[in-house]
């Protein structure tokens, strides 16, 4: 049963919205037409499912993990009716066959971890305000449980790779009244993580966090953005993740001619302890990526550094960490000596099939230690606009078994999206 706090923001906005003087629906064809347009014409059915097999061979475990599961998601989102709308979706993750993997809640710690625990949950439930008849022009507001993604997921993401999505009980305001610019503010009351609500500590975490992002797009060059995150976790056991972070980012591409494009991204951030955090630190983050696109073939080289001082390290607990520091998910928490990631990858499409191949080397930021190397690839193709089979694999070769073991991961799945 939902706790009062979980729906606090949702309830406040619901009460306010019901108190507003909306037109009477009965007998008014104009109002009925608008309602039909918002609910039917502009409404969106949320229906998708993903069946997936995951294999994990890890030297630190005597047994291999073999996980087969199905994720189903169903919901609906309306358009705007006199500036108001709502949306919801429900998510279920079901294991198929024997639990030959550690889901983090099934007690199978003798197997490698596959963080796809069985669960049924309310994934999203929100009210939204916006559209042409919004009381504040060029502004959208969304309040309730929702999916939020910033940029490349480094600081804020939904962890869409896992079957159980990460969502936030939050209030989000976006304003685009200045041409080419966007201003965004987010208040987060709770994060529902991929470990499911059944996990005593890793699942749902309460907080009182404030985030803001400002971006400006330069025509034909790219976007410059600045962000700040003040993360304040409620419980003392999570206080190590209470931090304040300020950062800037520039990303763009420049067309040299019809065939060649230059790609570039640069980013810097600084992080310090905040509120209940008992540690004291001042740590930096650097990221740079350059590449070219030639007739749909993309080649990139990048370098990312998260500083560590031997005790504390730059952390991004709300990120989609699978996309970063290795697809084998061995460095979801930054080691105390930090981490650097030097990588190269190439991607293209061949007869409608998307192909990605890459290699990276991972090292300590604070010392000369080498953690290891990883090779990865991804192949997928969408048929009939709805059905996407996908094969992904990652191979980590360790240089220090005390930090991370040799690991092989393979995923084979198919996704249906309405």
Integer Cα distance of 74 and 123 in angstroms? 9
Residue 290: predicted pLDDT:
98
> pLDDT class for 34, splitting at 50, 70, 90?
confident
Q: Reduced to 3 states, what is the DSSP secondary structure of residue 174?
A: strand
Residue 27: predicted pLDDT:
60
Residue 26: predicted pLDDT:
57
pLDDT tens digits, one per residue of 83-118: 999 999 999 999 999 889 999 999 999 999 999 999
Please, what is the average pLDDT of the chain?
93
Question: Which pTM was predicted?
Answer: 0.92
Beta-bridge partners for 348:
355
pLDDT tens digits, one per residue of 367-383: 999 999 999 999 999 99
Show the tokens assigned to 229.
Answer: 């995150």
CATH class of 4-417: mainly beta
DSSP 36: H
Share of the chain above pLDDT 70, in %: 94
The yes-or-no verdict on residue 274 having pLDDT over 60 is yes
C-alpha closest to that of 92 among 55, 149, 48: 48
Give the domain ranges of the chain: 4-417
Lowest average pLDDT, out of 31-40, 68-77, 141-150, 175-184, goes to: 31-40
Integer Cα distance of 330 and 105 in angstroms? 19
> pLDDT class for 19, splitting at 50, 70, 90?
very low
Please compute the mean of the pLDDT values over residues 160-180 and round it to a whole number: 97
pLDDT tens digits, one per residue of 224-246: 999 999 999 999 999 999 999 99
Quote the Cα angle for 306-310-312, to 5°.
Answer: 60
């Amino acid at each position: 049963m939902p706790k009062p706090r979980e729906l606090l923001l949702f309830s406040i906005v619901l009460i306010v919205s019901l108190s507003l003087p909306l037109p009477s629906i009965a007998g008014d064809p104009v109002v009925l037409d608008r309602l039909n347009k918002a609910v039917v014409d502009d409404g969106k059915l949320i229906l998708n499912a993903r069946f997936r097999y995951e294999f994990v061979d890890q030297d630190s475990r005597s047994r291999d993990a073999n996980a087969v599961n199905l994720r189903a998601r169903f919901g609906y989102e309306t358009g705007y009716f006199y500036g108001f709308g709502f949306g919801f979706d429900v998510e279920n993750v079901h294991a198929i066959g024997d639990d030959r993997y550690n889901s983090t809640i099934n007690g199978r710690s003798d197997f490698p971890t596959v963080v796809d625990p069985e669960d049924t949950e309310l994934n999203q439930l929100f009210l939204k305000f916006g559209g042409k008849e919004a009381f504040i022009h060029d502004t959208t507001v969304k309040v309730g449980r929702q999916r939020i993604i910033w940029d490349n997921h480094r600081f804020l993401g939904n962890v869409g790779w896992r079957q159980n999505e990460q969502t936030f009980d939050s209030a989000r305001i976006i304003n685009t009244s200045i041409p080419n610019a966007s201003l965004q503010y987010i208040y987060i009351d709770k994060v529902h993580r991929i470990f499911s609500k059944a996990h005593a500590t890793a699942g749902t975490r309460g907080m009182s966090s404030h985030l803001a992002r400002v971006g400006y797009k330069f025509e034909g060059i790219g976007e410059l953005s600045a962000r700040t995150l003040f993360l304040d976790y409620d419980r003392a056991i999570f206080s190590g993740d209470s931090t304040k972070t300020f950062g800037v980012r520039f990303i763009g591409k420049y067309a040299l001619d019809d065939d060649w494009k230059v790609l570039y991204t640069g980013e810097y951030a600084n992080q310090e302890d905040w509120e209940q955090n008992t540690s004291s630190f001042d740590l930096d983050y650097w990221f740079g990526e350059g590449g070219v696109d030639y007739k749909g073939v993309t080649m990139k080289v990048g370098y990312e550094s998260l500083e560590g001082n031997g005790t504390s390290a730059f952390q991004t607990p709300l990120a989609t960490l699978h996309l970063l520091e290795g697809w084998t998910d061995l460095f979801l928490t930054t080691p105390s000596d930090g981490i650097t990631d030097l990588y190269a990858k190439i991607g293209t499409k061949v007869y409608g099939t998307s192909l990605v191949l890459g290699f990276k080397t991972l090292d300590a930021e604070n010392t000369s230690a080498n953690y290891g190397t990883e090779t990865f690839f991804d192949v997928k193709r969408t048929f009939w606009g709805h059905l996407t089979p996908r094969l992904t694999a990652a191979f980590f070769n360790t240089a220090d078994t005390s930090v991370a073991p040799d690991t092989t991961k393979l995923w084979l799945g198919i996704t249906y999206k309405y």
